[in-house]
Structure 1
Amino acid sequence: MQGIRGAITVENDTKEEIIVAVQKMLKSILSENDITSEDIGAAIFSATDDIKSAFPAFAARQLPGWNLVPLFDAQQLDIENSIRKCIRVLLLVNTDKTQKEIKHIYLGRAATLRPDIH
Structure 2
Amino acid sequence: MAGARVLVIDDDRAVADLLFTVLGEAGFEVELAPDGYSGVAAATRSLPDVILLDMQMPAGGGETVLARLQNNERTKAVPVFLCTSLTEAEVRARVPKDMPFAGLFFKPLDLKAVVAKVSETAAKK
TM bucket, shorter chain: 0.3 to 0.5
Q: Which protein has the bigger strand share?
A: 1
TM-score by length of 1: 0.36
